[in-house]
Amino acid sequence: MKRAAIALGLFIAAMTPVANETKKSSRDDRLEWRSDGTASVQIEQWPLEKVLQSLSDQGRWEILVEPDLQLKVTTRFKDLRHPEALRRLLSEVNFAIIPTPGSPSKMLVYKTSSTRAVIRIIPTRRLPKRQPDGDKEVDSPKIPNELIVTLKPNSGIDIAELAKKLGAEIVDEIEGLDIYRLRFENEQQTEKAQTLLEQNKGVASVDNNFGITPPDMLSPVGLKPPPLNLRPASADKDGIVIGLIDSSVQREGSRVGDFLLPEISMAGEAANRPDQLTHGTSMAETILRGLSASLEDTQETSVRILPVDVYGQSENTSTFAVARGVQAAIEAGADIISLSLGSDQQNPLMQSVIQAGTREGVLFLAAAGNEPTGLPVYPAAQMEVVGVTALNLSGRDVANYANTGNFVEAAAPGAGVTVFNNQTYFGTGTSFSTAYVAGVAAGISSTKGLPVPEVRKLIATEMRPPGTGP
């Protein structure tokens, strides 16, 4: 999932269909949405769902609609530009267009609130890929010719022998959970192997491996940084460990070096540059700010951050690398894990790794997403995870870009300031909120002596999103 804040274009309908139109038979009805930016429409008593279905098929949008909108649309016009055409078609409802770089834009259609637009309109035909870079097509997020295989406990399967029979190479594994990443020579071989694996009674699940793009880079701003009045306790004192699954965290030139445990790398050497702040470093400082705010009588802390780099020098990572990073953090003693990524589809691999960690007493926090749809975002919407959304700058309301679905349990400042090499950087998004809550959770656990799982109840009570509770 992308962590940059998104622009929300909101169009409130203010026009009504043309009155006294001559009745036409349904055979004459048409909705033409052209690639030249114009539309011609002649429809009578179309259900709203049918209108949205046609727009989804022709307009390259992912459309989400508020439940129970039972409306009929009658209108007629010719060669109107798309914005005006939408206002005419959807005159009895509100709608919002949310641009999504590299993917179809989202259209939210609603009567009361955009957060209630959660029912997806399924296209009747597959939409062509968008081509934002000339004739260069956007790659599918699915990594080709790879499968993630999870074996059942005590299955008795020799994975090396099974992989050989399938013609696969074992690229990687998550030790202790019997999860393996297999690579095949071509698509045909991959599909055949998937069918055979799904029929194998010793296999718990078979899933694809998906690519994850990195968060946007932050740019320096001319702000005076607020102080970070926090110091580490003596090295021999045990404390809460926060696993930060992200890009590499920079020790040199940052304020966080003294609070870091040795970094775990899932992707080789880190791509740290002295002239560019990493997202991981900004998340680490945000964790410390949340930690500082939660401490009562002292600014000394035994809390430590365990950085887990799942990007290395690559431009992206994968769900397997993230899941393996989560497991590595758990094995290294993480009590709390902060995740600043997400997808609108639940991933069985991430689900199983998080469930295993929860059984060991680990608290998971994940970003709710920077789209105000109310739609579930995973892993934040997973039952075992605390979904975190962003507050606006006043702190009294949820930020207008942030998700407020019913899976969200906590809200925190959606902006962060980071100092790196004497430059101040500013960023916004639910990733900052998630890191902040991770720091608060660690502070509560360390000062009150509460087991980390008990902290979730306090967070859900004291940091609930505005307007969602008593």
Domain layout of the chain by residue ranges: 9-120, 142-212, 220-462
Q: Under CATH, domain 220-462 is a member of which superfamily?
A: Peptidase S8/S53 domain (3.40.50.200)
Q: What is the pLDDT of residue 166?
A: 95
Q: What is the pLDDT of residues 177-195, one digit of tens each?
A: 899 999 999 999 999 999 9
More confident residue, 167 or 300: 167
Q: Among 188, 175, 174, 108, which Cα is nearest to 145's?
A: 188
According to DSSP, residue 168 is labeled -
pLDDT exceeds cutoff 80 at 340: yes
CATH annotation of 9-120 = 3.55.50.30
Q: What is the DSSP string of 220-279?
A: EES-PPPP---EE--TTS---EEEEEES----TTBS-GGGBPPPEESSSS---BTTB--H
Q: What is the pLDDT of residue 237?
A: 64
Strand order in the sheet with 30-33: 30-33, 38-47, 72-81
Q: Under CATH, domain 142-212 is a member of which superfamily?
A: Peptidase S8 propeptide/proteinase inhibitor I9 (3.30.70.80)
Q: What is the pLDDT of residues 21-78, one digit of tens each?
A: 334 444 578 899 888 888 899 998 898 988 898 888 887 788 888 887 888 899 999 8
Indicate the burial class of 167 (C-beta count within 10 angstroms; 0-12, 13-18, 19 or more): middle
d(CA 188, CA 453): 45
d(CA 100, CA 273): 28
Q: What is the DSSP string of 302-348?
A: --EEEEEES-TTSS-EEHHHHHHHHHHHHHTT-SEEEE---BSS--H
pLDDT exceeds cutoff 80 at 130: no
d(CA 169, CA 181): 8
Q: What is the pLDDT of residues 74-120, one digit of tens each?
A: 999 988 888 888 888 998 888 887 766 556 777 888 888 777 777 77
Q: Does 466 sit behind a cis peptide bond, omega within 30 degrees of 0 on the bond before it?
A: no
- pTM summary value: 0.74
**Average pLDDT of every residue of the chain:** 83
Range among 16-25, 202-211, 291-300 with highest mean pLDDT value? 202-211
